[in-house]
Structure 1
Amino acid sequence: MKRAAKISAAAAGLAVLTATGTAVASAHQGDNDWPYAHQSTASYTLAAVGDISCEPDDDENAATPASLKCGSPTLGGMSAEFATAKQARDMHPNAVALLGDEQYQVGKLTDFEKSFEQAWGGLKMLERPAPGNHEYYPYAKKGDNEAGQNGAGYFGYFNGHDQAGTPETQGQAGDDTADNQGWYSYDLGNWHIISLNAECDSDAFNHDCSTTDNGLLAQETRWLSQDLAANTHHCTIAYWHQATFSATTASTATVPASAPGAGGIEGAATDAWWKALYKNHATLVLNGHEHAYARLRPMNPDGQYDAKNGIPEFIVGSGGEALDTLAGTPGNYDNPNVVTAQASAFGVMKLTLKPHSYSWDYKPALPGPGFDSTALQYSDSGSGTCN
């Protein structure tokens, strides 16, 4: 059963999400109708991005090396997350799809409050997040050693928490229970949108990344199949953090970029999701994790180009924290399905969702460390139809 997906209880007289998540507009709308009201059924705007906020440089994070915190010259820092937040806000979106790793390095609630909230808090009631590895896993790299939060800070921030800091069990990030770690779906017009949790190598999932046993990821996979079977909308988007197919060197050390699972154990597990989405004629898959922007050709579950029934994948991990290195060069990417990509600037993708079609528009908002304003000359836009 789909859980009620509320955008704003305070937005009386403005647009709300129904019990199935469908956005509707009320009869009473003021002149200042954004962010909640929606006057047209012709199109909806979905902003999409992941990998956003640097770890605050505060007393609580004193043991974290300076190179991993806000202010480091190798990171985007606060200026990058403010730039991408403004870019998203200027889109006047109906919803914001957050593609994981909203808060580095381990997504403590205090880190969310001191970093992510400062830039992206103004869009909070429109944000429809998915978690990433930095919200679940411990971080023990580059001289750091922080315990994993298993989603506690993530759910505490997006779903709210009690006075002791314990996350609420329901909210805009989905259910936070022993049987459901935040997967959910919602609707915008004729679009069915699904947010999934790929962080299976965590204590919360008992480090079980099987999609066929009785573990939590298998339960999530069965839920996805049921959700897709019940869906009556013409167009479908699914998003999660680790990409099934890759575009950067960070994810291609052992598996070719064009093979399922280049993103590691999580990317391999999400191959099952790709199969279910392909079977049900999904329109788009959105991912983060790779700190770059990339658009991939329509693919079947084996990573082969399939112009008729394949699903295009967008990687939008350019939210502000840092940037990776692309695998290959324009015209000669390691993954031949990569149509275009950039890893020299931070930015957000705008999706315009129409009843039977969509368009995308990606422009960077701020050059990355070591890059100049020429990085802002990149752009990628186009349109497609629902399968």
Structure 2
Amino acid sequence: MRRLGRRSRWLVASGVAAAMAAGLVTAASVRAETDGNWPYGGGGKSKAVVLAAVGDIACQPGEAEEGEKPTDLCSHTRTAAMVATADQVEAMRPDLAAIMGDEQYQTGRYEDFMGSFDRTWGAFKFLQRPAPGNHEFYTSHGETGVEGTGYFDYYNGYQVNADGTPKLTTFTDAKGNTFTQPLPQPHGQAGTTGEGWYSYDVNGWHIISLNSQCKVMPGGCDPNGSWMRAQTDWLSADLKAHPGACTLAYWHQPLFSASGDVSREGKVSKEWWKLLYRHHADLVLNGHEHLYSRFAPMNPDGAADPAHGIREFIVGTGGEGLDKLAPSTPKPAAATDQFYGVMKFTLTPGGYSWRYDSAMKDPDATTGASSYHDTGSGHCH
């Protein structure tokens, strides 16, 4: 059978996205209407499942919004990096893709998703299991668009009027100007709209996507604030309901930094780490820092714990610029700030392996190696 090229798959995904938003097709019918090959036909019949993982992906299309710099837009480098990581996923042929936030810069409007992210990563949209980042739940750049409206429009679909036009909701920016976005469906691929946390099971693994973007929500980032308390209580119940599985959790901003950045969501992340550690979780994945780093297994205080610790990966190298590594405690076991790339996890019942391969070197990095690789494996607790 003929394999769909990346652009052809983007056209399929974009058409399907519009039809699903209008309630005309379901994800199941997508498989029947394609030629059966990846991405909608699955990655194969292996006993192992491949999970791609990365965050911080798509540059902002068009013109700069108020308060932004021209460097925030889709430069040649950022566009090339976004295409390179999409091509890397195509070559990887994963069964699913965990996206750790900041899918779309700068303010995550629906039209920005369609004008940038969807043109590359949209080719395998329905394999994606996203988490939102601060550029989806935003209050900066002269705008106010809380609760990730454009993000939920893109992943969950939007509501339509009787004539097929989108139902709209209106926001007011910091200058008093108004702008509209489609009104998202209440539930969908990214969980419940306005919440954005959910879990799924694959090949003996229980995988959890969390929403760390608490700043703009009721109660803020206080772990006992109403919005965060609801999510943490849900996480506790979810972990209790899956006691025998290997466990992987991901969200946007990491508890342990490789760039010296102190997360404003640190108290929340610490609560989640305690719960995950108590329930013998194996892996935590994050984005936000535009670099790659891997930490040795550790407890929620960052102390080494080879027997029971959780291994944290930061994979914020999807295409939207790169950050610099900085001294941090604990120190990563492996790290680079010169490359864009996507992580490949191979999940088997009782274990996992990882492989990070660079997709493109930062053109500003004129010294050092031309590529980067980090591989390894581990067993579930």
Counterpart residue number, 2:176: none
Higher mean alpha-carbon deviation, 218-227 vs 155-164, is at 155-164
8 Å CA contact 1:132, 1:241 repeated in 2: yes
Deviations 1:314-346 (A, max 9, x none): 000011001111013xxxxx3244101001111
Distance 1:69 1:207 in 2: 33
8 Å CA contact 1:7, 1:125 repeated in 2: no
Residue aligned with 1:135, SS: coil
Given the alignment, which residue of 23, 29, 37 partners 1:10?
29
- List aligned pairs for 1:180-259, cutoff 5 A: 181-202=195-216, 205-213=217-225, 215-249=226-260, 251=261
Normalised to the residue count of structure 1, the TM-score between the two structures is 0.82
8 Å CA contact 1:55, 1:104 repeated in 2: yes
Identity of paired residues, percent?
Answer: 45
**What letter corresponds to residue 168 of structure 1 in structure 2?**
Q
8 Å CA contact 2:56, 2:103 repeated in 1: yes
**Pairing 1:167–2:168 present:** no
Higher mean alpha-carbon deviation, 80-89 vs 285-294, is at 80-89
Normalised to the residue count of structure 2, the TM-score between the two structures is 0.83
Given the alignment, which residue of 55, 58, 61 partners 2:60?
55
Counterpart residue number, 1:315: 314
Distance 2:152 2:72 in 1: 23
Counterpart residue number, 1:362: 356
Which runs of 5 or more structure 2 residues have no equivalent in the other structure? Answer: 1-24, 160-165, 168-181
- Distance change (3 Å), C-alpha of 1:117 and 1:39: closer
Distance 1:267 1:118 in 2: 33
Residue aligned with 1:154, SS: helix
- Distance change (3 Å), C-alpha of 1:31 and 1:218: closer
- List aligned pairs for 1:1-387, cutoff 5 A: 8-12=27-31, 32=37, 34-37=39-42, 39-40=44-45, 42-58=47-63, 61=65, 64-71=68-75, 76-140=77-141, 145-162=142-159, 163-164=166-167, 165-177=182-194, 181-202=195-216, 205-213=217-225, 215-249=226-260, 251=261, 262-263=262-263, 265-328=264-327, 334-372=328-366, 375-387=369-381
8 Å CA contact 2:361, 2:371 repeated in 1: no
Residue aligned with 2:311, SS: strand
Residue aligned with 2:118, SS: helix
**What letter corresponds to residue 154 of structure 1 in structure 2?**
Y
- Distance change (3 Å), C-alpha of 1:237 and 1:275: same
- Residue 374 (structure 1) shift: 5.0
- Distance change (3 Å), C-alpha of 1:134 and 1:375: farther
Which runs of 5 or more structure 1 residues have no equivalent in the other structure? Answer: 1-5, 15-28, 252-261, 329-333
- Residue 137 (structure 1) shift: 1.8
Residue aligned with 2:239, SS: helix
